[in-house]
Amino acid sequence: MTSNLPDYFARRHQDPDYAAEVQRERARIDAIDRIVRQLDDAREEQGLSKAELARRTGRRAEFLRRLFTAKTPNPTLETVVEVAAALDLELSLTAREDAATRR
Q: Which alpha helices (H) appear in the chain, and where do they start and end?
A: 5-12, 16-45, 50-57, 61-69, 77-86, 99-102
31-77 pLDDT, tens digit per residue, is 999 999 999 999 999 999 999 999 999 999 999 999 999 988 999 99
Asked if the structure places residue 17 within a domain, the reply is yes
Q: Is 98 within a domain? A: no
Q: What is the CATH number of the domain that holds 47?
A: 1.10.260.40
Backbone angles phi, psi at 74, to 5 degrees: -145, 65
The domain total for the chain is 1
Residue 100 lies in a domain: no
Residue 101 is assigned to a structural domain of this protein: no
In terms of residue numbers, what domain contains 25? Answer: 5-92
97 is a domain residue: no
Q: What is the pLDDT of residues 1-27, one digit of tens each?
A: 456 888 888 888 888 888 899 999 999
pTM confidence score? 0.79
Residues near 28 by beta carbon (within 8 Å), at least 6 away in sequence: none
